[in-house]
Structure 1
Amino acid sequence: MNSTVNLEGEIKDLLRLHGPLSVAFLTRFLNERGLDCTRQKVERTLRKMIQQKKVEAFYTNGNRRKHYRLR
């Protein structure tokens, strides 16, 4: 549970710093910060955060990649 809370905090910090990001960029930035995580772990955490209304998902520029931003 502690690692999930830590991951959520890091994701919120990255979204606040960089603005809307895709899962690929979030995973890359988290790994650069020293958190060892996979794309699947980031997606799972983002789904929880969407249910809690902390983050929202949207599509941009007609491509099929979801981007995430803070609410």
Structure 2
Amino acid sequence: MSATINLEGEITNLLRVHGSLSVAFLTRFLNERGLDCTRQKVERTLRKMIQQKKVEAFYTNGNKRKHYRLR
């Protein structure tokens, strides 16, 4: 459970610093920070954060990639 909370905190920090990011960039930045995570793990955590109303998802420029930002 603490790993999920830690991942949520790191994602929140990244979104606060960079603004909106896609799953690919979030995964890359988290791996650069030393957290060993996969794209699927990041997506699962983001879905939980959307349900908790911490993060919102949106599409930009019609490129069919979801981006995420803090609410």
Q: Count matched residues.
A: 71
Partner of 2:47: 47
Query: Partners of 2:41 and 2:53 in 1: how far apart?
Result: 18
Partner of 2:29: 29
- Give the TM-score of the pair, scaled to structure 2: 1.00
> Unaligned regions of 5+ residues in structure 2, if any?
none
- Spell out structure 1 runs of 4+ moving beyond 3 A: none
Query: Partners of 2:62 and 2:47 in 1: how far apart?
Result: 22
Question: Over aligned residue pairs, what C-alpha RMSD do you find?
Answer: 0.2
The answer to whether residue 60 in structure 2 is matched with residue 60 in structure 1 is yes
- Give the TM-score of the pair, scaled to structure 1: 1.00
> Unaligned regions of 5+ residues in structure 1, if any?
none
How much does 1:53 deviate? 0.1
Query: Which secondary structure state, in structure 1, belongs to the residue aligned with residue 15 of structure 2?
Result: helix
The answer to whether residue 54 in structure 2 is matched with residue 15 in structure 1 is no
Identity of aligned residues (%): 89
